[in-house]
Structures are given as structure tokens and as C-alpha cells.
Amino acid sequence: MFLPGISTYSSQVDNLFLLIFFVMGFWFLLGQGVILYFLFKFRKKEGVGSLYITGEKKEEKKWIKWPHLVLLVCDIVMVVFSCLVWYNIKQKMPPAESTVRVISQQWAWTFVHPGTDGQLDTDDDIATVDELHIMVNTLYHYKLTSRDVVHSFSVPVFRLKQDAVPGREIRGWFEATQTGTYDIQCAEICGIGHGLMAAKIVIETEDEHQQWIASHTPVTPVRIGSNN
Amino acid sequence: MSESHSAHYNEGLIKKYLFSTDHKIIGMQYLFTGIFMGLTGAFMVYVFRMQLAFPGIHVPGFGLVSQAAYNALVTNHGAIMIFWFAMPVLIAAFGNFLIPLMIGCDDMVFPRINRLSYQIFFLSVIVLFASFLVPGGGFGGAWTAYPPLSAKAEYNLTPMGAPLWLIAVALEFVAFLLGGINFITTLMNARAKGMKMYDVPMVIWMIVIASLLFMASVGPLIAGAIMLLFDQFIGTSFYDAAKGGDPMLWQHLFWFFGHPEVYVVLLPPLGMAVEVITTFSRKKLFGYKTFLHSVYITGILSFVVWAHHQFVAGIDPRMANLFAITTLIISVPIAEICFLVMATLYGGSISFTTPMLFALGFIIEFIIGGVTGIFLGASGTDIFFHDTYFVVAHFHYTFVPIAVIGFFIGIYYWFPKMFGRMMDERLGKIHFWGTIIPFNLIFIPLFFLGMYGEHRRIYNYQHFPELNTPGLYFLRELATVSTVVMLAFQTVFFYNFVRSLWKGKKAERNPWKANTLEWVAPSPPPHGNFEKMPEVYRGPYEYGVPGRSTDFWPQNEPN
Amino acid sequence: MSSCTIPIANTRSVTGIRTAKLATWWIIGSEIVIFGGLLVSYLLLRLHNLDWAHDAAHTNTWAGAFNTFVLLTSSYFVVLAHQAAEERNGAQAYRYLWYTIGGGLVFMLVKAYEYGTKIHHGITLSSGVFWSFYYTATGLHGCHVLAGMIIMAFVAHAAKKGENLHRVECIGIYWHFVDVVWIFLFPLLYIAK
């Protein structure tokens, strides 16, 4: 992948990519090589006719059968690693150190952060639009909802993507390993403003994050609870 | 009834060309309507690729591209290329033209249902075009039409465009159901005397199996489309979570159809490639039965992989493992099909005619589409790649070989039979290289863009700093320029096509020295096809049989 | 056929089954997946929304049961019509086909009564997802009954003159299919409360 990977699981996705890349790259080169070799070797020559091969005899079929079995083994290897990566990212839910709420709507993101008490859905929650602030090296759970149509919460540098479906609260997790500011995308077409639905994720150190909380704690409490 | 021709097939001109029940004329109607729609889809891709490479440009021939127009263009490009180009050309046009000729009869079993099928299809084209012109503009919710976006005008802002688009798609489905029933019964019941199951040419098998897959998969989506129409018009809430419905229901119904649909359009050009490759390498198809069984298995498996389109869509994460496994398993029979084609080349006497080049191009490019599919079928990597340009590049590496290259395989190979004249070989080869090289230069950059995290259906990347870099704009411009070059080279094809219609060398009955029955009929075949209905004595691929003076052995030649 | 001569293709029968009958089966095959998709969607949503039972309590089970009886009886008549057609007795087939159409008519009248009382009580297509399914599924089925009746009238008309007697069997197969769909709809929409 050409993008920095800055979540605890981004390298798992990238390594799976490399595994598939080398396995399928091998098959790709082999397949294309065989085709091109045959095309060269068996090009039409005067006085040389074609062979009559039905492909239904056992000694002919073995040329298909063996590559086939090897491919099946490759498939099993790839699917096992794929399911492992999937399990780690999407199925397993490590305990949260903090939780944020992500609310999507046409065509903006609302992020609800816990305030000074560290708890979500309390009076000091901080709601922002199109800007998510998180701490580095902290395991976050997100609660993802949609107010209207299907959206998709995508943070490419985390290798994280999850659709937001109206009527459901979908949970997942991430943990950043580096500070910085990166893109959040909406990765599911959501109407004419789909291209405007960009947001930023700001990954801060603990100190920076506490300062940000202090400077953004609302004077009059707002309550932005679960929608719908 | 004796099988000879006593009937008179003289009809008036209008009746002959507009309301004909002759399978060849109906095939031509589908062909030319399909080509017209293909050009429409090509114009759309030109417009939005220009916008992507040069945001805000006044696109020559179109003007400024608004966000709404951009969404409508990508939506309809996808829908048109699959439903109104690939399907009518590959299945309906070639199916209609080839099935009766290649199984040795005079027409489809139900010629009037066949005509009705085209008329409904034509109606769907009109409704589709109407959907662009109504107030609010054309539907822009992607060809997948996920509700609630597609279900409510307040979300999609196309109160007329969305329902009309859906009605057009539904009409198209009905047209292909009627056509499919005709294809299946014709193959089952109207084969020439002596033609057994394993004597049927592979392309006919493929078109008929495609019709079967379509019939078996489209039903739930038709039901889903009725529900979606009611949601749009009457205010039901099948897909409205707030009122007890479920938006995910549509995704399941759509992809239960959508994945088999890939094989519906893949199989016919695969069959064409088999006809062409066996003819021009003078080789028997390696393992006819194995090939057919692999296709059966692929077809059956294609019904249990649909949720790999929905890994991150909010389905139960445990389900993803199941669908990742079925998806990777389907690569086994598909790979087997590729191996069989390769093995067919072994020991051949290969001549590189234009149809052969396109058939080989089809296999070679499709393999790229196949291997890149693994990254998406593997649930772990799909988390990142889902809805990026990697997906776009992957499925264009399958669909362009299928629809565009497949179309050219068929046209270059059967043009002599369709129109009684030969196409120009030199122009054909220029056209081949002018298509295949820019094609790769369009989609290889898109793989890289996908790996940078560029997501789909965005009309302008200026709001995404990671994607708004000069390097990525270079890749987008490369893809766009290649698109324009590829489209420009199609003029060579159309020039060749039109010129050959009038000035091409007269074609004999069997210019390629092929075995199948269509080459027994005159070029072009008259209404009724054969002077005397042929009988079949052997399989379709008896090339290079030892001990014969010629290297081919037509199916109808008595022993 | 008027606009074209019957093609040789139509007269062949490699499978040994008449082409028209074969096509009827394929039409039914494509219809099964349409109704199947609708009913599976209904079942999946219903399993997630157990409170639909309250809505379902308002369906008229007796009307549904009566309609089941009517359809089954009409199916019996269509079997008799087929038998008559096999014996090349067109007039007899004509009579039984019209009995079947009569059954269809009774079915549609009961259906109209049901719809009428429902709508009178303010229960319409958009009164909740259960009712949306109720009207969509029974409506789609009703359209098939109606289409069957119309086609049957044409087949009966021809049968009276002794023409195309093989079509009696085809329309019979179709009618049985419509019947079977109802056998699924009745318990799913009327009995499951």
C-alpha cells in the first residue's frame, strides 16, 4: 500500500496484501508466460499440422489436475490468513479505553467525544463537525450510526472502513500509533454531496488532547445522544 | 412435417426490418441498439473521466459537470454498460443470431415471443433516456441503487429520475427473461438431428447457461424492485429502518442477483473465445466435458458468494468468513477454465487473425481481472479496498474484456456470416492494438490510485488532502488520456465495419474453415437459414484429426 | 400463425416434451424465484419483527380459507379440462375451463371484498411493513390469477373449435402453480398470527 499505515492493525492488512500479491503474482506470471510461450511455439508453420488431443485421457488430464490442486492449496493459505486478519479487526473487540460516537448524515460527519469525565453520553460531551480528535496509543471503540442514507466511515491510514446503516448502531475499534492529521472519507455514495463528505482525524498526544478537551468543553452543556 | 422449405419468406421492408420474427433480424436489432447504447455509455465515461482529471473543466461536447450530473453519469455508465450493452449484445444479439444457426434449425421456437422481447427491451431504452430528461435529472445513486438513497426523493433529489431508471431496469429484466426462456427451450428441443448434448458448440452452451443463471438470480431482485418502486411511489417502508423495514434487505437481493450476473455476461464471450481459439489454432477443445462441468460448478457457486460485496456493509462479521471461503473457492473452477483454454493452445497451428487476437486478448486481460479479484474476495484486504478505485480497476479488467473485447471477438469472427462480406484484416489489427494498449493504460493507474486510498464516485478530490496531490492527478490524467485514445481508436472499427458492409471481399460459406453448423448455411443466411436442414455426426471441435486430408471435419459431414 | 409460418424449430421435440409445455415449465421456474424472493424477504423481516403478529391478527382467515378451497376446486376443474383435451373433446375442455375461470372469478371477488373492508378500516399498502407485504404478495398473486383467467378464456375459445388443444395442459400447469403460490401465501399471511 502506498499510504502510511498508522493503526495497530494496518500492518496486518498490508502484510495480507503482500501475501496475496506474491501468491497471485506467481500464478499470474506463470499463466501469462505459458500462454505467450504456447503462442510463440505453436504459431502456424508451413507443413506442420496441429495435434489431436481430446483432453479426456488420464495422462492429459494430469496437466490440469496438478496445477489445480496446487492452486487449491494456495487458496486455502490465503483464506486462512484473510480470515485471521478479519477476525482481528472486525470480530474481536478488545476492551475500550475510550469511546467516540460517529454520526453520519447527508453530507457531514458529527463526532461526539467524551469530555473531561471520559464518559460518553454525559453532559460534558464535545460534539464536532467533520473533525475527530483522538489520542495516540489509545484503544477507541466507535459507535457508528446514520441519520438518513447509507454512508461509510473510512479512515484509509488506519485501513478501517465500515458502512453506517440507518436504524443500526455498528460498533468497531481502532488504535492509532502515530500523531498527525489525516483524511476521513465517506466511502459509500450518499447523494449529490458525496464528494463533499470529507472529514479530518486529528491524532494527538495525551497532553494535546486534554488541552483540546479543556478548550472545547461547552459552556452550556449540550446533549447529543444516540439518534433515531 | 418434412423439414424442407416450402414457405414463402417474402415480406415488406418495414415488416422485414422492424417487426420481423426472424431470429437474425432480431439479433441485428439487439446488436445495433446495443452498439448505440455502448456508445452512449462510452460518451458518459469520457465526460466524467475528463472531470476527474481536470476538475471543473468545460468538457467539450458536454459542458460543466455538476455534482448531480457526475453522479448520474457514473450511475448510468455502469447500468448501461451492463444492462444495455453487455447483455443485449453478448446474450441477445449473438444468442439470437447464433443459436438457431449453430444447432441447425431455421428459427427460435417462439419467434413472436422473441420479437416481443426486443420490443420490451426497446421500450426500456426509451424509458431510460426519458429518465435523463425529466425534472431533477437522471438517477445518481449508483447502479447498485442502495436504499434509502434510492427510495426517497428527499435523499436522492431525483423524484422522477429514480423511479424511471428503476422501471427501465425492470423492463430490461422482463425482456431478457422472455428471451432466455426462448433460448433454453430452443436448445433443448430444436437441435438438429443427431446433435447430442456434447455436440453442442460451447458458445451455445454458454449463452444458454447464462440465460439459466439470469433466470434463477433475477427473480428476487424483481421482487425487490417492486418493493423499491412502492417505497418510491406509494410510501411503503420495505427499506425504511425507522418503520420496521430494512435497508440491508435490498443489498442482499441486489447482490444475490449481482454476482451471478457477472457470470451471466462472462459466459457468452468465453464461449465465443473458445470457438475462435479452437478454429484458429486448429485444435480440439481440451476437455470439453471438464470445461462444461467447471462452468456448471462456477454457476452454482456464484449463488453463494454474494455477500463478499457487503463485507463492511454492516452484516454480521462472522458471515464474512463464510463468504470469503466460498469466494476463494470459486477461483478454482474459473482457474480450471483458464487452464483448459491454455491447454487447447498446446500443439496447435495458431494463426493470428483479428478475431483470434481479440480472443487471446480476452483471456490474457481477464486473468488480470481474476487475480486482482482475490484481494477483494479476501475479507481482510477488502476492508481497505472496498469502494476504492482498486475495485473499479479490478472489475473493469473483467467487464471490459467481457463486454468490449467479447463484442469484438464475436463481430470479427461472425461478420462474414452476418453480412456476407469479410472485414479488413489490417484495419482490424490496428484496431486491436489501439484498443488493448490504451485499455491497460487506463486501468493500471486506477489500481495504484486504489492503493493510495482513492474512493469511488467522488466528482472532485479537492476536499481530500491525501488525494489532492500532483502525483495522483498525473495518474488520473494518464487514465483519462488513455480513455480518449481508446475511444478514438474505435473509429477505426466503425470505418472498417461500414466499409466492409459494402466494399468488403465477398465471403464464402466457410471462410475460416470451421466445423460448426452456421458455416454450412449461405453467407448471409436467408430467412429459414439452410437450404436443407443439416444433420450432425460429430462434436464441434474435430480439428487436426489424424488421417484426414483436411484439418477440419464439419459437424454435418457424413462419415 | 398469421404473421409468420410456424418455424421448423417449433415442431421439433428433441427432449420428447412438447416445446410449449417445456416453456411453461421455464416460465414457472422464473416465477418461482420472483415469489420466492418476495416470501423470503417477508420471512426474514418477520423473524426480526415479531410484533407484526398484531397486524397479522387482522387478516380475515375465513376469507383466506374459503379462497384456498375455491382455488383448489378450480384446479380440479382444470385437471378435468386437461383430461377432456387429451380425449380431444374440445367442447368438454371448453366447459371445464370456464368452470375454472369461474373459480378464479370467485377468488378475485372474495379478494376484492377483503381489500375493500381493509381499506375501509384504513389499512392500506403503507400502513406498516406487514401490510405492505400483505398487499404486495396477494396483489402480485392476484395479477397472476387474473392473467391466468384471461389466457384461459383464449385457450378455451380455441379449444371449443378443437384448435391448439395441447395448450389446455399448459394453462393447467400454470393454474396449478398459481394455486401452489397461494398455498404458501395463505399460512404465511393469514394463519401465522
pLDDT of residue A118: 86
Please report residues of B whose CB lies closer than 8 A to that of A184: none
- Looking at the DSSP assignment, which residues form a beta bridge with residue A100? A142
Q: What is the DSSP string of chain A?
A: --S---BTTHHHHHHHHHHHHHHHHHHHHHHHHHHHHHHHHTB-BTTB------S-SHHHHHHHHHHHHHHHHHHHHHHHHHHHHHIIIII--PPPSEEEEEEEETTEEEEEE--TT--SSSTT-EEEESEEEEETT-EEEEEEEESSS-EEEEEGGGTEEEEE-TT--EEEEEEB-S-EEEEEEE-S--STTGGG--EEEEEE-HHHHHHHHHHHS-SS--------
- Same domain flag for A46 and A122: no
In this prediction, residue B1 carries a pLDDT of 37
CB contact B366 to A (< 8 Å): no
Q: Which among A63, A91, A119 is the end of a domain?
A: A91
Q: Answer whether B1 sits within 8 Å of C17, measured CB to CB.
A: no
Assigned domain for A227 exists: no
Determine the residue of chain B that is closest to C12 in CA distance.
B190
Yes or no, beta carbons of C37 and B181 under 8 Å apart: no
Return the CATH number at A87. Answer: 1.10.287
How much of chain A, in percent, has pLDDT values that exceed 90? 82
B-interface mutation test, from C1, C2, C5, most B Cβ less than 10 A away: C5
Do B458 and B491 contact (CB within 8 A), yes or no?
A: no
Same domain assignment for residues A196 and A104: yes
Tell me what pLDDT residue A224 has. Answer: 56
Residues of B in contact with A25 (CB under 8 A): 371
Interface of C with B in 122-151 (CB under 8 A): 125-126, 128-130, 132-133, 136, 140
A175 and A75 in one domain?
no
Chain B interface, best mutation among A7, A60, A165, A174, by max B CB count within 10 A: A165
Q: Is B57 on the interface with A (CB under 8 A)?
A: no
In a domain, A161, yes or no: yes
Q: Based on the number of CB atoms within 10 Å of its own CB, is B490 exposed (0-12), middle (13-18) or buried (19 or more)?
A: middle
Domains of chain B: 20-502 (1.20.210.10)
β-bridge partners, A43: B350
List, for chain C, all residue ranges whose pLDDT scores fall below the cut of 70. Answer: 1-5
Mean pLDDT for each consecutive 10-residue tract of chain B (559 residues)? 45 73 95 97 97 95 95 97 97 97 95 95 97 94 95 94 96 96 96 95 97 96 96 92 92 96 96 97 96 96 95 93 93 94 96 97 96 95 96 97 97 97 97 98 97 95 94 97 97 97 95 96 93 95 93 93
DSSP code, position B302:
G
Q: Tell me: do A196 and A144 sit in the same domain.
A: yes
* Main-chain dihedrals φ then ψ at residue A170, nearest 5 degrees: -100, 135
Can you read off the three cell numbers belonging to residue B164? 424511471
Give residue C1's pLDDT. 37
Q: What residue numbers bound the domain in which A30 lies?
A: 10-91
Residue A71 lies in a domain: yes
Q: Please give chain A's pLDDT, 228 residues, in tens.
A: 789 999 999 999 999 999 999 999 999 999 999 999 999 999 999 888 899 999 988 889 999 889 989 999 999 999 999 999 999 999 999 999 999 999 999 999 999 999 988 899 888 899 999 999 999 999 999 999 999 999 999 999 999 999 999 999 999 999 999 999 999 999 999 999 999 999 999 999 999 999 999 998 876 555 555 444
Collapsing DSSP to helix, strand or coil, B350 comes out as: strand
B324: number of Cβ within 10 Å:
25
Integer CA distances (angstroms), B419 to B114, B359, B439, B508, in order: 21, 21, 29, 11
Q: Do A51 and B544 count as a contact with CB atoms less than 8 A apart?
A: yes
Q: With CA atoms as reference, report the closest residue to B104 among B553, B519, B524, B526.
A: B519
Q: Is residue A115 part of a domain?
A: yes
Give residue A225's pLDDT. 52
List, for residues B192-208, the tens digit of each pLDDT value.
Answer: 999 999 999 999 999 99
Same domain, A112 and A79: no
Please identify, among A91, A126, A143, the residue that sits at the C-terminal boundary of a domain: A91
A60 vs chain B: nearest CA distance in angstroms? Answer: 9
Nearest-CA residue of chain A relative to B390?
A: A1
A20 in a structural domain? yes
Nearest to B363 among A35, A191, A195 (CB): A35
pLDDT value, residue A220: 59
Spacing of C-alpha B346 from chain mean position: 28
Chain B neighbors of A68, CB-CB under 8 A:
332, 335-336, 339
The arrangement of strands across the sheet holding A151-155 comes to: A131-135, A199-204, A180-186, A151-155, A160-164
Is residue A170, in this structure, part of any structural domain at all? yes
Question: Would you call the peptide bond into A107 cis, given omega within 30 degrees of 0 as the criterion?
Answer: yes
pLDDT digits (tens, 9 = 90+) for B92-119: 999 999 999 999 999 999 999 999 999 9
Q: How far is CA A145 from CA A66, A153, B147, in A?
A: 49, 10, 16
User: Where among A91, A118, A135 does a domain terminate?
Assistant: A91
Within the 201-220 window of chain B, which residues sit less than 8 Å (CB to CB) from chain A?
Answer: none
Q: Chain C residues with CB inside 8 Å of B181's CB?
A: 23, 26-27, 30
* Number of alpha carbons in the 13 Å side-chain half-sphere of residue C67: 30
Which chain A residues touch B381 with a CB distance below 8 Å?
13, 16-17, 20, 82, 85
Instruction: Name the nearest CA neighbour of C102 among C145, C140, C155.
Output: C145
Residue of chain B whose alpha carbon sits nearest to that of A26: B371
CA distance B239 to chain C (A): 9
Q: Do B258 and A25 form a contact (C-beta atoms < 8 A)?
A: no
Task: Identify whether A126 is part of a domain.
Answer: yes
ipTM for the whole complex: 0.94
Grouping H, G, I as helix, E, B as strand and the rest as coil, residue B558 is coil
Residues near B350 by beta carbon (within 8 Å), at least 6 away in sequence:
A38, A39, A42, A43, A44, B280, B281, B356
Compute how many other C-beta atoms are within 10 angstroms of the C-beta atom of residue C5: 19
Q: How many CA atoms lie within 13 A of B502 on its CB side?
A: 4
Which CATH number fits the domain that encloses residue A116?
2.60.40.420
For A43, name the nearest residue in chain B, comparing CA atoms only. B350
Residues forming a β-bridge with A204:
A135
* Touching, A vs B (3+ Cβ pairs under 8 A): yes
Residue C5, min C-alpha distance to chain B (Å): 7
A225 part of a folded domain: no
Amino acid C3: pLDDT: 44
- Buried b / exposed e across A46-56, counting CB within 10 Å, b at 16+? eeebbbbbebe
Do residues A164 and A64 share a domain? Answer: no
Q: Checking DSSP bridges between strand A180-186 and strand A199-204, what pairing results, if any?
A: antiparallel
- Residue A189 and residue B179: Cα distance in Å, rounded? 33
Q: Which fold has domain C18-191?
A: Four Helix Bundle (Hemerythrin (Met), subunit A) (1.20.120)
Query: Cβ contact (<8 Å) for B215 and C37?
Result: no
Q: Give the number of domains in chain A.
A: 2
Report the candidate in B83, B68, B69 with the shortest Cα–Cα distance to residue B38: B83
- A25, A68: one domain: yes
Q: B185 to chain C: which residues are within 8 Å by CB? A: 19, 22-23, 26
Which of A194, A200, A201, A226 is the best mutation test for B, with the most CBs of B within 10 A? A194
Task: State whether C129 and B21 contact (CB < 8 Å).
Answer: no
Q: For B239, name the nearest residue in chain C, comparing CA atoms only.
A: C129
Q: Which ranges in chain C belong to alpha helices (H)?
A: 8-11, 19-48, 52-56, 61-86, 90-120, 129-160, 166-185
Q: Best interface-test mutation with C: which of B188, B226, B306 has the largest number of C CBs within 10 A?
A: B188
User: Which of C12, C29, C41 lies closest to B223 in CB terms?
Assistant: C41
Could you give the CA distance from residue B53 to residue B50 in angstroms, rounded to a whole number?
A: 5
Residues A53 and A159 occupy one common structural domain: no
Looking at chain B from residue 302 to 331, which residues have their Cβ under 8 Å from any Cβ of chain A? 311-314, 317-318, 320-321, 324-325, 328-329, 331
Rg, Å, chain C Cα set: 19
**C28 in contact with chain B, both atoms CB, cutoff 8 A:** no
- Residue B335's CB is within 10 A of a number of other CB atoms, namely 23
Which among B508, B510, B512, B520 is positioned nearest to B555, based on CA atoms?
A: B520
Q: Which residue of C has its CA nearest to B177?
A: C30
